Each structure stands twice: as C-alpha cells, then as structure tokens.
Chain A
Amino acid sequence: ETGVTQTPRHLVMGMTNKKSLKCEQHLGHNAMYWYKQSAKKPLELMFVYNFKEQTENNSVPSRFSPECPNSSHLFLHLHTLQPEDSALYLCASSQDPAGIGELFFGEGSRLTVL
C-alpha cells in the first residue's frame, strides 16, 4: 500500500452534480490536508485537520465541504462547482500537526468541471 491514496484519480462533473474525493493515509499520521493545484499557480492550502479536528479553512468557498471521520480518512465533498474549480486536488498527511516536517502527498484527483 502506498502512503497516501486518493480516489478517484480523475473526475469529470457538471456544475449541478454532487461528488466526493476520498483520501486515505496508511502512515499513522495525525494531520491531513487538502491542497488545490491549478496550472501556473502555487499549491493552495484549502483545509487542515489535526486529530480529526479542522484547524484551518483557508477561505475556501462553501461548495467545498471537507469531512474527516478519523485520522486515516479525509473526504472533500463537492457540489455546485464552477469551471474555475477544475484543478488537481492533492491530499497530504504529516506526523506533526504543526506542519513542521515532511508532508506526504497522494497522487491527486484531477477534477474537470464542465
């Protein structure tokens, strides 16, 4: 098993659809993150969860709704998205909730909003 697994790898959805991205980490880490990666832009931090509690919401629109049922799983629920939300969504985990130390990234979920 790889350290951080994301599904689906690719997702195409219409603006009225509801879908979810899933992330699972097998590293025993305490912190999990959602990042958005758009072309020609730096990785943007979206959400941070430490010990299942959300500790950071980086002004993300409410059409993105995260869920962290336990320390190993993280979801990103998507509804009424816009075409500009098309991007690579990366999940990461770290041992240290302070963000000091290596982030382990998944391969990402490539989202296309039509």
Chain B
Amino acid sequence: GESVGLHLPTLSVQEGDNSIINCAYSNSASDYFIWYKQESGKGPQFIIDIRSNMDKRQGQRVTVLLNKTVKHLSLQIAATQPGDSAVYFCAENPQRGKLIFGQGTELSVKP
C-alpha cells in the first residue's frame, strides 16, 4: 500500500551542528511534499514545502531537498538549537485531497 517512511526513528545531534532528516516516499504520482514539526503536547506545525518541479527549497535555517529519481526527501536544519527538538514528519500528496504522512523522526539536540 501507499506509505511514506523515514530512515531513522531517532536522531541525536550536538547544539550548533547541522541536522539531516531523511524520508523515502513510495508514490511516483506525488507532486507536493511537506515537512512538519511536532513538539511534545502540540499539534504538527508546518516547516517547509516543495513541489515536484523543484529539487531544492530554502527557508529560514531549513532546506528541503527532493530527489525524484530515488523518491527521497530530506530536511536539513542548520545550526541546530535546543528548540528544534521535536518529531519531524514528511508528508506526500499523491492525489487531490490526500496527504500521507511518514512515521516521524525524533530529533534530540544535546547542549
């Protein structure tokens, strides 16, 4: 069935280092992808999105890379801070009105 997976369930980084969170998606028809951040006790919050006609998009301290050849998505966080500690989800939009989420990677930032 359709699924979006993340390579690592947990990731621990040192404060100030760069973080890379990976995601593999399964549906070649997906044309839109989003990264969400969920802090403990809160709902998911939008971080950044990218359409399939792009391979890179940058935001404030975050960059999303899309490799359609291998159906791979990554989120890069520059100069990771303690406030970045959260669970990160990728999601794909394989058809109108449907967003499929991955399992999530828990990012821990060590001071």
Interface residues of A (CB under 8 A from B): 4, 31, 40-43, 45, 48, 50, 55-56, 90, 92, 97-108
Contact = CB atoms under 8 A, between A and B. Distances in A.
Given A43-B44, A90-B43, A105-B44, A98 B96 contact: yes
B54 interface: no
Interface in B33-87: 34, 36, 41-46, 49
Contact of A42 (B46, B49, B93, B104): B104
The residue among B32, B97, B98 with the most chain A CB atoms within 10 A of its own CB is: B97
A51 to B, nearest CB: 12
A-B complex: 3 closest residue pairs judged by Cβ atoms = A105-B43, A43-B101, A99-B97
Contacts of B96: 98-100
Given A41-B103, A99-B99, A102-B46, 13 more contacts: A42-B104, A45-B98, A48-B98, A56-B97, A56-B98, A90-B44, A92-B43, A98-B97, A99-B98, A100-B93, A102-B49, A104-B46, A105-B44
A107 to B, nearest CB: 5
Contacts of B42: 107-108
Contacts of A40: 103
Contact of A97 (B49, B97, B103): B97
Contacts of A100: 32, 93, 96
B88 interface: no
Interface in B1-47: 3-4, 32, 34, 36, 41-46
A97 to B, nearest CB: 6
Nearest to A103: B99
24 contacts: A40-B103, A41-B103, A42-B4, A42-B89, A42-B103, A42-B104, A43-B44, A45-B98, A45-B100, A48-B98, A50-B97, A55-B97, A56-B97, A97-B97, A98-B96, A99-B97, A99-B98, A100-B32, A101-B49, A102-B34, A103-B46, A103-B99, A106-B43, A108-B42
